[in-house]
Amino acid sequence: MSRKYFGTDGIRGKVGESLLNPDFVMKLGWAAGKVLGGEGDRRILIGKDTRISGYMFESALEAGLAAAGVDIALLGPMPTPAIAYLTQTLRASGGIVISASHNPYYDNGIKFLSARGAKLPDESEEAIEQLLAGSMDCMESAKLGKASRLSDARGRYIEFCKSKFPSNKNLGTLKIVVDCANGATYQIAPAVLAELGAQVIAIGVDPDGVNINLDCGATKPRLLTEKVVEHQADLGIALDGDGDRVIMVDHTGEVVDGDEILFILANYMLARGTLSTGVVGTLMSNIGLELALRDQGIAFKRAKVGDRYVMRMLEQEGWTLGGETSGHIICLDKAGSGDGIVSALQVLTAVVSSGRSLNELKKGMLKYPQSMINIPLKNKALNLCEHPKVKQAVTEAEQVLNGQGRILLRPSGTEPLLRVMVEGRDPGQVRQLAESIADVASQLK
């Protein structure tokens, strides 16, 4: 079935336009209640990040779910992985995340989780869309859902995160700068690190509803690099607005991206005998990661872009470690979904256990230069990848690379963008080829 509303990561858009308005979101809550309410205890958890529109959509979803006869537990500002964890442990019918992740405050989104805390399978999303095509009804008064607030949600999740760090170790030797992107982790990540013994310098912990991801967080780590150097910290941790991705910074101020994090974790797990055969990356993963893992005898496979596809391939292969360059890291032996805080703790475990710095741990991987250009699209459905002129430009660029690199064109699953990525040995050549392809595509949009 061709889906009308759901993208690769739920439903997302600009607040007040298209789908992201109170009327639609209330009906969406009702439809989700009808589809998900048959599982568990007929209770659905709702959590959100810190953007101002979260209040409005929380109320709209609450009304729709109640009309469908489903009870609601309100979590308040909570990271996406926390909502996934609590949905599973509290045996709820499902979970709802109100967040647009790394996007600016004026965007928002609705993501749904199954009873086991995983992203919904396609058939559940399709069932919700089918209900949205019809009329909304309402249960009789005696069967309406009720709402309550889960007051200890934050403490439960903090203890969960701490349990994923070795009980016989602590972070007492480390000074850590943590950037919470003025998002959902602002009350949680600093507490986790401090309770494990670290000296914590917290930034991005003053949300005002509109500063989420603003010049901070995992997508813009420049502020973190400056603070790590300024405070002479051992390392820095940058999370995104909903806390499901992490980027790190070593003591020199160099960024350690998701590919390098995967390399560090794979090597650490291999040395301890806990790595399950291979690692899953995506089409965007740097070829340097693939080559470095191959040198260690570690299998590597590429999934489609999107953490749900990484998860799917991990389950198919029976592996436990995977992720994306952007910092979505999945450690299935530690958590059931991508979790920025838990993933950072696994890297910190490697640092503390080895006695080596983050800078030293990443040195075994040589990243190939990459150039990424995002081309805004007026029509998201426009398939420029198949346009003859674009295909010709790609062919010509591949001839220049002569087998010493990669070219990838990919429509974004969350934004109206065409992403043009070129990877090769020569950074100048890579940039020039990416620009030549982007110029052709831009003239056609």
Active site residue ranges: 101
Angle between helix 53-67 and helix 22-36 axes, rounded to 10 deg: 50
Yes or no: say if 203 and 67 are a contact pair by the CB < 8 Å rule: no
HSE-up of residue 366 (Cα within 13 Å, Cβ side): 5
Distance between CA atoms of residues 167 and 159, nearest Å: 12
Structure tokens at 4: 């009308």
Report the phi/psi class of residue 333: left, alpha or beta, with left for phi > 0 and alpha for psi in -120 to 50.
alpha
CB-count exposure of residue 289 (10 Å: 0-12, 13-18, 19+): buried
Q: Which letter does DSSP use for residue 42 in this model? A: S
Structure tokens at 156: 């439960």
Measure Cα distances from 124 to 6, 29, 109 in Å. Answer: 11, 13, 17
**Residue of 362, 334, 355, 358 lying closest to 176 (CA atoms):** 358
Q: Find the length of the chain.
A: 445
Q: Which letter does DSSP use for residue 368 in this model? A: P
Yes or no: say if 35 and 69 are a contact pair by the CB < 8 Å rule: no
Distance between CA atoms of residues 221 and 282, nearest Å: 22
Structure tokens at 417: 């963008």
Distance between CA atoms of residues 153 and 78, nearest Å: 8
